[in-house]
Structures are given as structure tokens and as C-alpha cells.
Amino acid sequence: MDRQTFENATEPAGFRLASMTVQSSFLIRCSLNAFGDLTSGKAYYIQHVQTGAEFRAATLAEVTHWAGDQNLRYLSAMSDAVSGAQEDLR
């Protein structure tokens, strides 16, 4: 979801929200063996700090894909929270 789409989804006609930046943090660990090579199996562990969601992966591509998905989910949840707050103010 791009920023313009997000803004349009969270701003009803005639109502303007201040700009909002959603920050997301991840903890990433990589297990290496004594030779500095990746250990067998799923060597990468990633945790989305804000939600506590966890994932294990074998490649950095999997880590990147999962982190992107978590950002979209977190952004969507924040959008829902903002929409709920707007309804409470009316």
C-alpha cells in the first residue's frame, strides 16, 4: 500500500489527518558455525519488535519478504486504529 492510498483510506471526505509515519523494528540473528558458514537448516531468526511475531528462514530473501509482509500488516493495523479513533471523536 503506497502512502497516497493509505492517506485516502484513512481520511474521510472533508477530514484531514496530520501526516503519520509508522516505524517498524526488527531483531535479526544469524547462526554461523565455527568456520563462519551458515549452519544447516534455517539459520536466520527474525522478530518484529512491535508485535512479537517471529520467523525462521534459510535465506536473506525469505527474511526480506517476511519483513515486508510484517510492515504491511503493521501499517494496516495502525490504519485501523486511526480509523477507530476518528469514529470515537465524532
Q: Which three cell numbers stand for residue 15?
A: 477530514
For residue 66, what pLDDT band results from cuts at 50, 70 and 90? very high
- Residue, of 38 and 71, whose pLDDT is higher: 71
Question: Given this model, what pLDDT does residue 72 score?
Answer: 87
- Residue, of 22 and 7, whose pLDDT is higher: 22
**Residues near 55 by beta carbon (within 8 Å), at least 6 away in sequence:** 45, 46, 47, 63, 66
Q: What is the mean pLDDT of the chain?
A: 75
Question: Given this model, what pLDDT does residue 52 score?
Answer: 92
DSSP state letters, 7-58:
HHHH--TT--PPP------EEEEE-B-TTSSBPSS--EEEEETTT--EEEES
> What are the distances in angstroms from CA 65 to CA 24, 52, 68?
15, 17, 5
Task: Give the count of beta carbons closer than 10 Å to the beta carbon of residue 70.
Answer: 19
pLDDT in tens, 18-59: 565 667 789 999 887 777 676 567 889 999 998 899 999 988
Query: Mean pLDDT across the stretch 56-68?
Result: 92
Residues in the chain: 90
